[in-house]
Amino acid sequence: MYYVVKRMEIAGSHRLDLSYQSKCANTHGHNWIITVYCAARELNADGMVCDFKHIKEKIHDALDHRHLNDILPFNPTAENIARWVVDRIPECYKATVQESEGNIAAYVDDSFSGAAL
């Protein structure tokens, strides 16, 4: 099995729609650290699991310096963002989203096979 990890910083704002009162219901920003974990049983024709540039385009370029409520079709919690990352990249089996020091959410696709695409 081959593995690659891409770590990137995303600056942006969001607000959370919650079932309880919270300051997070107000628009606020973070410098998220998003880490993308990809794997494949076989390398592609270019000798890669996937191109780091393609990961950056699909995640960083889509989210950086944006208001996430305007571009994501769900409540933009760190957990939901981690799932969205995994769903956007076929080779991705895990993503972590760190919104501040000590606050990290992760999503792992338990059904991931790592098959070459």
User: Among residues of the chain, what percentage have pLDDT more than 70?
Assistant: 96
Segment 7-24, tens digit of pLDDT: 999 999 999 999 999 999
Q: Give pLDDT, residue 112.
A: 82
CATH number of the domain to which 75 belongs: 3.30.479.10
- Host domain of residue 60: 2-108
Q: Give pLDDT, residue 115.
A: 54
- Write a three-state SS string for the chain: CEEEEEEEEEEEEECCCCCCCCHHHCCEEEEEEEEEEEEECCCCCCCCCCCHHHHHHHCHHHHCCEEHHHHCCCCCCHHHHHHHHHHHCCCEEEEEEEEECCEEEEEECCCCCCCCC
Does residue 117 lie in a domain region?
no
